[in-house]
A and B are shown apart, each in its own frame.
Chain A
């Protein structure tokens, strides 16, 4: 395994292992998802049709809010015991660390999204199964975009004073395209139409993901340096 891939792998391995053992973030996120469900229900009122109509938006709202929490926490682990220093001083291209963190974040988001879908299905008596493959594709592309920017900005705000406020302030405007595209494509998927109908949105998502990844990989070492 080349040094670069190995380092990215080590970072992802370390994060997943730590999270699996402490379960801090995951527990909080899952519980948060549950809470969101109730909040949505109370905000929208008892009519089921309203929820169904707003469903794509609600889903992505939930994903983004969870993402904000997850990305904010991703680099906190490095602040304990000054591990951040160790990462800065480790030799080689620092973007490997970015990719490793990204992988970890993607995994967390994936788990949260699956949980949310299950919760939505249970609480709002919805059936996602016919739309699953299409939904999975949209989720994959959209989450990649969210996480690519979220990991980068999470690293930036981890060392800043008002980080809880700053991360949303920076992240939300930046992921507007991802939100627009993902919601539209999700709409298509959920309404049973073939995914080809949403082709332009998917292409936009793919292009955006590529751009964000490239920017992240190229600029991460600047963010890491103290």
Chain B
């Protein structure tokens, strides 16, 4: 029931967020309407990172306690994580087309995210191929942990490899040059995405628990 409430809350927040993005935030001078896609992009990235952090927590939790609940947590987070990463990449692509003229560039942020995406798709593929639930959870845990530990390494290696993306406006050390209304929009969207993630997480966990008890 809590999941249901979360779900509705997420929908409301999403509506508010989208409304804010397209109605409330002013048109950015240079990049026009496309800037509004940014409002999806950044929260998407942050939520994706959150998702993978949760996967990592779930993995370590499983390794430490071998409780099935941790494994379910990791699985439940990985799928929305992949989803959000996908959203991030697609919206990044949409944003990129008018700005840079191409659907895809090998810029640092996008490439890193794409690599992350591939890692977690591989993770899900692996899960699909192991039948024994014990072994599946263990092995997935290992891959997940390596994947998570790799995130900073991937980030730096890709960043150095390619200096195309504009300097990070949120995560950089300089003060954020984002105007207030846009910041508010971003915030609302971020909250919406996080709520959506939490809802998907809870729902997926429920399904996973049912799957396990049914099979076991």
Residues on A lying within 8 angstroms of B by beta carbon are 149, 152-153, 156-157, 159-162, 166, 169-170, 172-174, 176-177, 180-181, 184, 200-201, 204, 207-208, 211-212, 215, 219, 222-223, 225-226
Partner of B149, one of A204, A211, A223: A211
In Å, the complex CA distance between A172 and B145 comes to: 16
Q: Does B170 contact A (CB under 8 A)?
A: no
In Å, the complex CA distance between A169 and B127 comes to: 13
- The reply to whether B142 and A180 form a contact with Cβ atoms under 8 Å apart is no
Partner of B142, one of A169, A208, A211, A222: A222
Known: A181-B157, A225-B138. A215 touches B149 (CB 8 A): yes
Known: A211-B149, A215-B145, A219-B145. A173 touches B125 (CB 8 A): no
* A225 CB → nearest B CB, Å: 7
- The reply to whether B139 and A223 form a contact with Cβ atoms under 8 Å apart is yes
In Å, the complex CA distance between A160 and B118 comes to: 19
The 8 closest A-B pairs by CB, nearest first: A177-B157, A173-B118, A219-B142, A173-B119, A222-B138, A180-B157, A177-B153, A169-B122
Kindly supply a per-residue 1/0 record for chain B positions 122-134, scoring 1 wherever the CB is within 8 Å of any chain A CB and 0 otherwise.
1101100110000
* A88 CB → nearest B CB, Å: 12
- The reply to whether B129 and A160 form a contact with Cβ atoms under 8 Å apart is yes
* B185 CB → nearest A CB, Å: 33
In Å, the complex CA distance between A152 and B115 comes to: 19
Known: A173-B115, A174-B119, A211-B153. A162 touches B129 (CB 8 A): yes
* B6 CB → nearest A CB, Å: 31
Known: A177-B153, A181-B157. A223 touches B126 (CB 8 A): no
Partner of A170, one of B143, B157, B160, B161: B143
Closest to B158 in A: A180
* A126 CB → nearest B CB, Å: 25
- The reply to whether A152 and B142 form a contact with Cβ atoms under 8 Å apart is yes
Closest to B155 in A: A177
- The reply to whether A161 and B126 form a contact with Cβ atoms under 8 Å apart is no
Most buried by B among A161, A222, A226: A222
- The reply to whether A208 and B143 form a contact with Cβ atoms under 8 Å apart is no
In Å, the complex CA distance between A152 and B138 comes to: 13
* A213 CB → nearest B CB, Å: 11
Partner of B126, one of A160, A204, A225: A160
* A12 CB → nearest B CB, Å: 22
Q: What A residues does B123 contact at CB under 8 A?
A: 170
Most buried by B among A153, A180, A184: A180
Known: A153-B143, A174-B150, A207-B153. A166 touches B125 (CB 8 A): yes
Known: A176-B157, A215-B146, A219-B141. A170 touches B126 (CB 8 A): yes
Closest to B160 in A: A200
In Å, the complex CA distance between A212 and B145 comes to: 10
- The reply to whether B122 and A170 form a contact with Cβ atoms under 8 Å apart is yes
* A123 CB → nearest B CB, Å: 29
Most buried by A among B115, B119, B135, B146: B146
* A162 CB → nearest B CB, Å: 6
Q: What A residues does B24 contact at CB under 8 A?
A: none
Closest to A207 in B: B153
Q: What A residues does B139 contact at CB under 8 A?
A: 156, 222-223
Q: Does B154 contact A (CB under 8 A)?
A: yes
* B194 CB → nearest A CB, Å: 26
- The reply to whether B153 and A223 form a contact with Cβ atoms under 8 Å apart is no
Known: A207-B153, A211-B153. A223 touches B138 (CB 8 A): yes
Q: Does B191 contact A (CB under 8 A)?
A: no
Q: What A residues does B142 contact at CB under 8 A?
A: 152, 156, 215, 219, 222-223
Selected A-B contacts with CB under 8 Å, 28 pairs = A156-B139, A159-B135, A160-B126, A162-B129, A166-B126, A170-B126, A170-B143, A173-B115, A173-B118, A176-B115, A176-B157, A176-B158, A177-B150, A177-B156, A180-B157, A180-B160, A201-B160, A204-B153, A204-B156, A204-B157, A211-B149, A212-B149, A219-B63, A219-B141, A219-B145, A219-B146, A223-B139, A225-B138
